[in-house]
Amino acid sequence: MRLTLFLVIFALGLVTLLLVQRWHEWNRFHALPLNPDGELQLWVAPGTSYSGLVRELERLGLAQPDWQWRLFGRLHAPGVQAGEYRIPAASSVAALMQQLERGETRDHRLTIIEGWTLNRLRAELANDPRLVNRGHDLSEAELMEGLGCTGCFGEGRFLPETYFFTRGSSDLDILRRAYRAMEEALAAAWSGRGQDLPLASPEELLVLASIIERETGQAAERSEVAGVFVRRLQRGMRLQTDPTVMYGLGDDFDGRLRRVHLRTDHPWNTYTRHGLPPTPIALPGRDSLQAAARPAEGTALYFVSRGDGTHQFSDTLTEHNAAVNRYIRGRR
């Protein structure tokens, strides 16, 4: 009897000792730094299961396929949200799992530059290794249809700004956000436009804004350039702006605009045709949209580049020709 009692007590002691040991191991597992040597990046692909996550952590040297990881998964069943995670130095298992459950992914940024064309934007997205390429092979018509704008032109319809995203996002995600942002910015500019503008629709304002964007990179000049174009439209004068001609030439433009280009008629040649071209020629930013909606008052009908990024504005053709002689022919 005494022997049996002794054996029972001894077994209970062993079990208790084992449980205490496991308890300490479990607590140590929760608090043990995964990456004491420094910060790491963890990429969790869409659809990754908990076991798949553990295998990825094992590949990075952060986990061992032992009982603690299996028990943690059974007890907590953490939801694994896809994305890229920054694991700080000395991060614990508990801290990492909180990151994963909360979806605290690392944000990336992509800046769409004012004056880019739609083709340039799509090429930049297609070549970005952080994005999944789903839209590069779509035609412009298919792209716009997918955005809910069937039959719309795509040029100019995406707002240049900085967009944040997580690795593994689609290029179509960025385009969709940029499209919606432009819709909102264009609507705001149109609703706040000045009186007596020679523009019949928000689309025409977008076309004018794109020309302003390509004509000057100086924020202070945008409203002045807009004023020149608005006064020309009001008087029935041709816009005679080089960037529209360049855009219409497409791949045939080699970087040098010649007289023959100015004389060759096409829908975007504002030297041979009156009014606005049929579509925008670039992606205009918010400042150019506002300039088109609220052009500066004045009397200037002409402007020419000074060669330093700014322009000389003139009221008469005589003054303009003198400025051309000074700033263009003088440089030659």
- Both 87 and 141 in one domain: the answer is no
pLDDT class of 318 with cuts at 50, 70, 90: very high
- Both 221 and 234 in one domain: the answer is yes
Most confident residue range from 20-34, 265-279, 298-312 = 265-279
Give the pLDDT mean for 153-173. 93
- Greater pLDDT, 106 or 7: 106
pLDDT at res. 210: 98
pLDDT at res. 332: 47
Residues 230, 239: Cα–Cα separation, whole Å: 9
- Both 224 and 321 in one domain: the answer is yes
Residue 24 lies in a domain: no
Residue 141 lies in a domain: yes
- Both 308 and 221 in one domain: the answer is yes
Question: End-to-end CA distance of the chain, in Å?
Answer: 116
Most confident residue range from 53-62, 245-254, 275-284 = 275-284
CATH of the domain at 87: 3.30.1490
- Both 174 and 251 in one domain: the answer is no
Assess whether pLDDT exceeds 80 at residue 241: yes
**Residues 56/48, Cβ–Cβ less than 8 Å:** yes
- Both 275 and 254 in one domain: the answer is yes
- Both 222 and 306 in one domain: the answer is yes
- Both 57 and 121 in one domain: the answer is no
Last residue of a domain, one of 125, 150, 185: 185
Last residue of a domain, one of 61, 78, 105: 105
Residue ranges making up the domain that contains 254: 194-329
Residues 174, 290: Cα–Cα separation, whole Å: 23
pLDDT over 70 for what percent of the chain? 82
pLDDT at res. 302: 93
User: Based on the structure, what is the number of domains in the chain?
Assistant: 3
Last residue of a domain, one of 185, 208, 241: 185
Contacts of 210 (CB under 8 A, 6+ apart): 155, 156, 280, 281, 282, 283, 284, 288
Assess whether pLDDT exceeds 90 at residue 116: yes
Residue 304 lies in a domain: yes
Q: Give residue 315's identity as a one-letter amino acid code.
A: D
**Residues 138/305, Cβ–Cβ less than 8 Å:** no
The pLDDT tens digits of the residues spanning 185-198 come to 999 999 999 998 99
The pLDDT tens digits of the residues spanning 205-235 come to 999 999 999 999 888 899 999 999 999 999 9
pLDDT over 90 for what percent of the chain? 55
Residue 91 lies in a domain: yes
Residue 42 lies in a domain: yes
Residues 268, 301: Cα–Cα separation, whole Å: 20
**Residues 9/3, Cβ–Cβ less than 8 Å:** no
**Residues 244/155, Cβ–Cβ less than 8 Å:** no
- Both 36 and 163 in one domain: the answer is no
Residues 66, 57: Cα–Cα separation, whole Å: 13
Least confident window among 7-21, 124-138, 165-179, 256-270: 7-21
CB atoms within 10 A of CB 5: 9
pLDDT at res. 26: 53
Give the pLDDT mean for 107-122. 94
pLDDT at res. 182: 97
- Both 67 and 160 in one domain: the answer is no
- Both 204 and 299 in one domain: the answer is yes
Residue 94 lies in a domain: yes
pTM of structure: 0.77
pLDDT class of 68 with cuts at 50, 70, 90: low
pLDDT class of 236 with cuts at 50, 70, 90: very high
Residue 16 lies in a domain: no
- Greater pLDDT, 219 or 328: 219
**Residues 157/179, Cβ–Cβ less than 8 Å:** yes
pLDDT at res. 297: 93
Give the pLDDT mean for 171-191. 96
- Both 98 and 116 in one domain: the answer is no
The pLDDT tens digits of the residues spanning 25-52 come to 555 665 567 766 677 777 777 777 777 7
The pair of structure tokens assigned to 171 is: 């290029």
